Amino acid sequence: MQRLLWKRYAVFQCVHRQNHEEVSDSLCDSSTRPSQQEEPCNTQHCPAFWDIGEWSECSKTCGLGMQHRQVLCRQVYANRTLNVHTSRCRHLDRPETASTCQLKICSEWQIRAEWTPCSVPCGLGQRTREVRCVSNIGDFVPDEECNMNLQPSAAENCDMGPCAKSWFYTEWANTCSAECGRGLRTRGVLCLTNQLSSLPLEGCGEERPADSQVCNNGPCENSIEWFTGPWSQCSAECGAGSQQRAVVCLMKADEGYSAVAPYECSSLDRPLGQQSCHLQACGAKWYHTDWSACSKTCEEGFRLREVRCLADNMLSSEGCEEPDRPPEREPCNPQPCTPHIDEKCRDKYFNCNVVVQARLCVYDYYKTTCCASCSRVTHRQSVQRGRS
């Protein structure tokens, strides 16, 4: 690397011999003036130095962050400033390249309200609370200004304990117990704890849904004497069922056979017309409850029912076919709400929808305690009668 050479020169002046004060050059003999002389000086290199850049922006817009700057060891050669190895600046303390910074105090999450009551009086529901992002001066700011990973939950599930019991039942069997004539088809009916309904009942009630209904596949053909037709298909595709067959008293004549009253065959042992059957274990099947009360009495609400997959031992199972699962929710009460309700006419209890469902609005007590709900039902019924 080229070294920059500096030079220095001697300076001559004409001075008085006695007091050595400077006088005009014309008073000295110009022929005795010393010749101009020069010699090199400052032949050593200039020392290296730290070149410090500007600080970068803070890494965080709030809270404790970091900022950085560039620090280079530089040295001047031949009127040029060059970057050199940091070892040449070891005689100097190296400036810091990183520093902490804080533009402002970060906003923080605040829970502004206690949990609300559970959304259902029993069973599984949800409760909520107000959670806001608040600045260091107490203002509400967008959620993005707070650490989203530290956000307290604003909603959670709540379990208010089991509700009243309800009737669960399967769909009707597809086959009739009799291939001809009157027969029966059946379905499974169980009383189980229902997690959705808020019915004020101690048990499932006395109105047990029917587990059998009459079916008819047309008239049977006649046969001889005590004629027995073939056994029908089992009334249950699985589990305990029954099967039937036609038993008819026929009288043979020259022209053929004709049906007669059963007592004509009373001297003969009557064949069985019904017997139990068991084709196979049912495995898992879908059961469901009745629909709950509608969430709204007008302007489109929804109602729910609980659906369970149960095995032969009536315990929960995962063996049911998902495409066959009965729906658990459907819309209800699409008609418009009553435009005006007397302000004095209010519901005094939270479960007045159950009173409406149980058709108790005909009683004066419920008309008063559940005035608003009963009034809406009366209005809806009058609208429906008007349309019909």
Residue 60 lies in a domain: yes
pLDDT computed for residue 5 by the predictor: 55
Same domain? For 224 and 258 the reply is yes
pTM for this prediction = 0.28
Is 380 domain-assigned?
A: yes
Q: Does residue 258 belong to any structural domain of this protein?
A: yes
Reported as a single tens digit per residue, the pLDDT across 264-305 is 777 778 888 888 887 777 778 888 888 888 888 777 888 888
Dist CA 35 CA 31 (whole Å): 10
Query: Is residue 286 a part of any domain in this protein?
Result: no
Statement to judge: residues 169 and 78 lie in one domain: no
Residue 2 confidence (pLDDT)? 39
Cβ-contact 123, 196 below 8 angstroms: yes
Residue-level pLDDT at 70: 94
What is the residue range of 30's domain? 6-101
- Which pLDDT does position 192 carry in this prediction? 73
> What is the DSSP-derived secondary structure letter of residue 191?
E
Q: Quick one: 231 and 256 in the same domain?
A: yes
Instruction: Tell me if 320 is assigned to some domain.
Output: no
Over residues 191-218, the pLDDT tens digits come to: 776 555 444 445 676 778 888 998 877 6
Classify 356 as helix, strand or coil: helix
In this structure, the answer to whether residues 46 and 126 fall within a common structural domain is no
129 and 191 housed in the same domain: no
What's the length of the chain? 388
Task: In whole angstroms, give the CA distance from residue 270 to residue 225.
Answer: 10
At 181 the pLDDT is 61
pLDDT of residue 49: 92
User: How does pLDDT run across 315-374, given as a tens digit for each residue?
Assistant: 888 888 889 899 989 999 888 776 555 677 888 888 888 888 888 888 888 888 898 888
Bridge partner residues of 71 (DSSP): 52
Task: Report whether 123 contacts 163 (CB < 8 A).
Answer: yes
95 and 15 fall within a common domain: yes
CA atoms within 13 A on the CB side of 354: 12
pLDDT mean across residues, the chain:
80
State how many domains the chain has. Answer: 4
Tell me which of 101, 116, 146 is where a domain ends: 101
Residue for token pair 């050669």: 77
- The answer to whether residues 94 and 175 belong to one domain is no
- Domain annotation covers residue 305: no
In the numeric block, which tokens belong to residue 266?
A: 């009373």
Q: CA 350 to CA 44: how far, in whole Å?
A: 97
**What's the Cα-to-Cα distance from 106 to each of 58, 68, 132, 345, 366, rounded to whole Å?**
14, 21, 14, 51, 56
Q: How many alpha carbons lie under 13 Å from residue 116 in its C-beta half-sphere?
A: 15
Which comes out higher in pLDDT, residue 277 or 124?
A: 277
Of 92, 102, 4, which Cα lies nearest the Cα of 48? 92
Calculate the alpha carbon distances from 188 to 170, 311, 366 in Å: 5, 12, 35
Helix (H) or strand (E) holding 382: helix 371-387
What are 224-274's pLDDT values in tens digits?
A: 577 888 888 888 777 778 888 888 887 765 455 677 787 777 777 888 888
Do 174 and 95 belong to one domain? Answer: no
Question: Could you tell me if 171 and 127 lie in one domain?
Answer: no
Judgement on whether residues 87 and 127 belong to the same structural domain of the protein: no
Cα of 124 vs its chain's centroid, Å:
15
In this structure, are 201 and 261 located in the same domain? yes
Residue 131 has pLDDT above 70, yes or no: yes
Same domain, 231 and 134: no
CB 272 within 8 A of CB 229: no
**Domain annotation covers residue 306:** no
The separation between the first and the last C-alpha atoms of the chain, rounded to the nearest angstrom, is 109
Which of 272, 303, 318 is at the close of a domain?
272
Domain boundary among 159, 176, 192: 159
In-domain check, residue 240? yes
